[in-house]
């Protein structure tokens, strides 16, 4: 019997198989957005067992386990690592038709060479085999990255981060290039004035600037932005509920800043103006350094108050937010365009209703300077599955140029997630292959289609981000 994960997995037609095996299969990986911990890379972490590397911090798996009726003690609680793994193995058969089922078995096959399905009957064997491998040099953090042919990784880093671990990685001899990515979300998060004031103090200490005024804040951000650039950073990233583009005066923003520094809460109108001002200034900094700016919108976070109090943020209690992003997004980017300060931009929407909105928004501001200057980004988070990827690529094809797409990313905290790039490439090849088989694309142009697949899988990102 053929293994579940085999050479033609998810390749349902001859053209798809030709495209994948001759063009995409062996290309390196550029993971331009992830949440790996730079400390773990710098220290070349050795993992205690399969649970630590596979279940720790993985809110995708945690959500599935909760949905399967697994008590929290076996997820983020006090049960042993093996007991938690047993409950994950119990859950895996119930994830059929969820991308977790495919990811799980791709990772077992590609990372560990295991082609058995994970279920209660195989749990002990798989756990012991993988845990044994994880004790060897070939399965430490850096070696996993090299074995998966990862050429570039961009982590997600706060402006106040010292980037000490990135410097250590740079000097470690690791073949994979690891760069910081600028994630200034905390500077926009003004709802809690006390936390904001504390963060400004931290930012000021890192920048060696005493932040007492709004101008001091901009100076500190600019100084840190320049430092990130000196450490190889070429990309920023914003996690937002929506864009911000309110009209404001500099005097109003200075009043808002002073109010925050006194521990006062901004009114909704003041907060919107303040966020608009900062978002614009940050975008200008990206343009000045020729970075790529990324915007992830439409997520509502930490919705379960009970569990937020118990185990904190980023633990699987987030959801899709319904926002009206079109008018405000166009207003924001139009101002940057009018001012001649619009950087390369990738837009990500979590709400699938906004696929067409975001794709057309991006293509409103392309100026012919470079291919795909503004574009719709990869299917993100809850949309990072076969149907979501197909919808995103179909919209990008219809509203823009799929051929200029910068492709996939892991958006993951796990060192085992690199097969997601393979998963994407297989879906991409199957999508294009279907069109060839149906006569919608000419078989005589297979050479160009192979180039197109290779570009989307690797070359476009390499050229676009200038890695």
Domain boundary at 70, 104, 139, which? 139
Do residues 130 and 189 both lie within one domain? no
446-464 confidence digits (pLDDT tens): 999 999 999 999 999 999 9
What percent of the chain lies above the pLDDT cut of 70? 100
Structural domain including 227 reads 184-233+241-281
Distance (Å, whole) CA 385 – CA 284: 34
Count: domains in the chain:
2
Which residues have a Cβ under 8 Å from the Cβ of 457 and sit 6 or more positions away? 23, 24, 27, 407, 408, 421, 424, 425, 428
Q: Specify the pairing of strand 344-349 against strand 374-376.
A: parallel
The confidence score (pLDDT) of residue 4 equals 97
Confidence of residue 266 (pLDDT cuts 50, 70, 90): very high
pLDDT category, 43, cuts 50, 70, 90?
Answer: very high
> Residue 324 gets which letter from DSSP?
-
Q: Identify the domain boundary among 85, 109, 139.
A: 139
- Would you say residue 103 lies in a domain? yes
- The model's confidence at residue 382, banded by pLDDT at 50, 70 and 90, is very high
Give yes or no: residues 114 and 191 share one domain: no
| Predicted TM-score (pTM) of this structure | 0.97
pLDDT average, residue stretch 301-317: 95
110 in any annotated domain = yes
Segment 93-100 shows an average pLDDT of 98
Backbone angles phi and psi of 179, in degrees to 5: -115, 150
pLDDT at 273: 98
The alpha-carbon radius of gyration of the chain (Å, integer) is 23
- pLDDT 10s digits, 16-25: 999 999 999 9
The CATH number of residue 83's host domain is: 1.10.2020.10
Q: Do 208 and 125 fall into the same domain?
A: no
Question: Does residue 191 share a domain with residue 123?
Answer: no
Number of C-beta neighbours around residue 444 at 10 A: 7
What percent of the chain is modeled with pLDDT above 90? Answer: 99
* 153, part of any domain: no
135, 59: one domain: yes
Phi-psi region of 233 (alpha: psi -120 to 50; beta: other; left: phi over 0): beta
pLDDT at 77: 97
Residue 421 lies in a domain: no
pLDDT grade for 1, boundaries at 50, 70 and 90 = confident
Mean pLDDT, to the nearest integer, of 103-125?
98
Judgement on whether residues 193 and 126 belong to the same structural domain of the protein: no
Q: Which DSSP string do the residues of 201-225 spell out, in sequence order?
A: HHHHHHHT----SHHHHHHHHHHHH
* pLDDT score for 352: 97
Asked if residue 263 is part of any domain, the answer here is yes
Examine the pLDDT at 88 and tell me if it is beyond 90. yes
What pLDDT is attached to residue 309?
95
How far apart, in Å, are the Cα atoms of 241 and each of 56, 260, 306, 319, 443?
A: 26, 21, 22, 11, 43
Is the pLDDT confidence value at 280 over 80? yes
Helix (H, G, I), strand (E, B) or coil at 238: strand
What is the average pLDDT value for the chain, to the nearest integer? 97
In the three-class reduction of DSSP (H, G, I as helix; E, B as strand; rest coil), residue 385 is classed as coil
Last residue of a domain, one of 80, 107, 139: 139
How far is it, in rounded angstroms, from Cα 263 to Cα 255? 13
pLDDT of 5 over the 90 cut: yes
Please classify residue 391 by burial: count the beta carbons closer than 10 Å to its beta carbon, then call 0-12 exposed, 13-18 middle and 19+ buried. Answer: middle
Question: Is residue 124 situated within a structural domain?
Answer: yes
**DSSP for 346-377?**
EEEESSGGGHHHHHHHHHHS--SSSTTSEEE-
Task: Answer yes or no: is 294 within a domain.
Answer: no
Mean pLDDT of 358-373: 97
- Residue 64 Ramachandran class (φ > 0 left, ψ -120 to 50 alpha, else beta): alpha
Residue 362: inside a domain: no
Report, as an integer, the average pLDDT of 385-405. Answer: 98
CA distances to 228, 429, 435 from 439, rounded to whole Å, are: 48, 15, 6
Show Cβ contacts of residue 59 under 8 Å, excluding neighbours closer than 6 positions.
Answer: 314, 315, 316, 318
CB atoms within 10 A of CB 114: 19
Structure tokens at 393: 């690529």
* pLDDT tier for residue 213 given thresholds of 50, 70 and 90: very high
Residue-wise pLDDT for 171-205, tens only, equals: 999 999 999 999 999 999 999 989 999 999 999 99
pLDDT at 22: 98
């Amino acid at each position: 019997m053929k293994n579940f994960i085999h050479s033609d997995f998810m390749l349902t037609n001859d053209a798809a198989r030709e495209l994948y095996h001759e063009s995409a299969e062996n290309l390196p990986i550029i993971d331009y957005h992830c949440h790996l911990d730079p400390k773990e890379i710098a220290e070349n972490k050795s993992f205690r067992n399969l649970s630590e590397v596979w279940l720790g911090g993985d809110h995708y798996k945690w959500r599935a386990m909760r949905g399967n009726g697994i008590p929290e003690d076996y997820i983020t609680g006090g049960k042993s690592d093996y007991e938690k793994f047993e409950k994950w193995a119990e859950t895996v058969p119930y994830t059929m038709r969820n991308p977790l089922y495919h990811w799980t078995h791709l990772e077992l096959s590609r990372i560990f060479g295991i082609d058995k399905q994970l279920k209660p009957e195989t749990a002990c064997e798989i756990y012991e085999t993988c845990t044994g491998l994880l004790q060897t040099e070939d399965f430490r953090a850096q070696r996993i990255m090299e074995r998966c042919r990862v050429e570039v990784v961009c982590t997600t880093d706060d402006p106040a981060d010292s980037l000490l671990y990135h410097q250590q990685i740079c000097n470690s001899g690791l073949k994979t290039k690891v760069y910081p990515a600028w994630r200034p979300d905390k500077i926009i998060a003004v709802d809690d004035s006390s936390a904001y004031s504390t963060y400004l103090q931290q930012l000021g200490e890192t920048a060696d600037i005493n932040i007492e005024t709004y101008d001091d804040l901009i100076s500190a951000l600019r100084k840190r932005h320049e430092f990130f650039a000196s450490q190889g950073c070429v990309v920023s990233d914003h996690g937002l509920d929506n864009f911000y583009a309110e009209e404001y005066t500099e005097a109003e923003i200075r009043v808002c800043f002073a109010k925050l520094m006194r521990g006062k809460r901004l009114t909704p109108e003041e907060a919107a103006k303040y966020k608009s001002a900062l978002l614009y200034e940050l975008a200008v900094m990206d343009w000045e350094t020729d970075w790529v700016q990324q915007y992830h919108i439409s997520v509502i976070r930490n919705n379960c108050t009970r569990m937020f109090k118990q185990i904190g943020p980023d633990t699987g209690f987030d959801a899709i937010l319904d926002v009206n992003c079109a008018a405000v997004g166009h207003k924001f980017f139009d101002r940057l365009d009018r001012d001649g300060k619009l950087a390369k931009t990738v837009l990500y929407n979590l709400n699938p209703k906004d696929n067409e909105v975001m794709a057309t928004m991006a293509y409103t501001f392309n100026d012919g300077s470079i291919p795909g200057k503004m574009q719709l980004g990869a299917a993100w988070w809850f949309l990072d599955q076969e149907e979501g990827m197909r919808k995103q690529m179909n919209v990008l094809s219809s509203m823009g140029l799929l051929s200029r797409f910068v492709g996939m990313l892991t958006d993951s905290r796990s060192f085992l997630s690199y097969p997601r790039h393979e998963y994407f490439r297989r879906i991409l090849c199957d999508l294009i292959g279907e069109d060839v088989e149906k006569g919608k694309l000419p078989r005589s142009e297979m050479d160009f289609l192979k180039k197109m697949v290779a570009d989307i899988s690797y070359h476009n990102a390499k050229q676009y981000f200038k890695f």
